[in-house]
Chain A
Amino acid sequence: QQQVKQSPQSLIVQKGGIPIINCAYENTAFDYFPWYQQFPGKGPALLIAIRPDVSEKKEGRFTISFNKSAKQFSLHIMDSQPGDSATYFCAASIETSGSRLTFGEGTQLTVNP
């Protein structure tokens, strides 16, 4: 059973655009929601994370919006750059259960110059 659903599968934007990637989860016990960025041939790297006690978190050009009642969260990338071209994964975990991560299927983002 897919517990974290991510969309879209791929996304192409122009430099300076604001790509938005969406995730929906089913398990209401999840209490930690990170986003990972993965470049080809590399392992995923943590980009930004949020806990359900806040509705929004910003770090630089990256923003997570969180809607607990809808069980949805999204990643916004402001002023996107070609160097942001990568695969992005949302994930969720239950921190009291060791933080094993449940991942979405990934979004391949391309930012054209």
Chain B
Amino acid sequence: GAGVSQSPSNKVTEKGKDVELRCDPISGHTALYWYRQRLGQGLEFLIYFQGNSAPDKSGLPSDRFSAERTGESVSTLTIQRTQQEDSAVYLCASSLYAPYYEQYFGPGTRLTVT
């Protein structure tokens, strides 16, 4: 079946611009996570959605970052007024239900801020 998909696969933007990254989770998965992976580093947790519960935003690095999810479907991560330090691969994962179920990762969106 279809896995987690993310778009765009690559995004180059100028410093100060806003960007939107999209994640389509596996159908039926109630939990959705966003992580950031800087070059040569491990993944950092950003935000977690579980069904209709309030999201866990504790990993968002600043108020320039926000994310939305409509029900149990698509999620959008928005970065406002991008900075060069925002350059990274942004990965989305979904799981059937959190906790206790495996997280399946998408291929990521590579964001480059020039």
Contact = CB atoms under 8 A, between A and B. Distances in A.
Contacts of B79: none
Chain B interface category by residue count: 20 to 34
Nearest to B92: A43
Secondary structure dominating the interface of A:
mixed
Interface residues of A, number: 25
Interface string B84-114: 0000000101010011101111111000000
A43 B93 contact: yes
A99 B103 contact: yes
A105 B99 contact: no
A43 B99 CA distance: 20
Contacts of A42: 107
B77 interface: no
Interface of B: 4, 31, 33, 35, 40-45, 48, 50, 56, 59, 91, 93, 95, 98-100, 102-108
Given A43-B106, A44-B43, 8 more contacts: A42-B107, A43-B4, A43-B93, A98-B56, A101-B103, A105-B41, A106-B40, A106-B42
